Amino acid sequence: MPKIVNADARRELIADAVFAVVGERGLAQASLRTVADAADLALGSVRHYFDNQAELMEFAFMVNSERIHLRALERLVVLEETELPAGAQELVDACAAVLEELLPLDQRRRADAAVHMEFMLEARTTAALSQAAQDDYRATGAVVGRVLLRLLESPLALAGLVALEEAQRLIALLDGLSLRLVLQPAWAAPQEGQATLRRHLAELLQG
Arithmetic mean of pLDDT, 99-125: 96
| Residues 43, 12: Cα–Cα separation, whole Å | 16
1-51: CATH, from 1.10.10.60, 3.90.75.20, 3.40.640.10, 1.10.287.610: 1.10.10.60
Question: What is the phi-psi region of residue 107: left when phi exceeds 0, alpha when psi lies from -120 to 50, beta otherwise?
Answer: alpha
Whether the CB-CB separation of 36 and 42 falls below 8 Å is answered with yes
- Burial of 135: CB neighbours in 10 Å, binned 0-12, 13-18, 19+: middle
User: What is the pLDDT at residue 4?
Assistant: 53
User: What is the pLDDT at residue 188?
Assistant: 86
- pLDDT of 169 above 50: yes
Counting residues of the chain whose pLDDT is more than 70, the rounded percentage is 97
Arithmetic mean of pLDDT, 103-117: 96
Reported as a single tens digit per residue, the pLDDT across 25-47 is 999 999 999 999 999 999 999 99
- pLDDT of 7 above 90: no
Instruction: Give me the chain's average pLDDT, please.
Output: 94
Reported as a pLDDT band with limits 50, 70 and 90, residue 1 is very low
What architecture (CATH level 2) is domain 58-202? Answer: Orthogonal Bundle (1.10)
| Residues 110, 107: Cα–Cα separation, whole Å | 5
Reported as a single tens digit per residue, the pLDDT across 47-59 is 999 999 999 999 9
At 108, give phi and psi (nearest 5°). Answer: -65, -50
Reported as a single tens digit per residue, the pLDDT across 143-156 is 999 999 999 999 99
User: What is the pLDDT at residue 3?
Assistant: 52
Reported as a pLDDT band with limits 50, 70 and 90, residue 5 is low
Reported as a pLDDT band with limits 50, 70 and 90, residue 2 is very low
| Residues 39, 23: Cα–Cα separation, whole Å | 14
CATH 1.10.357.10 placement within the chain: 58-202
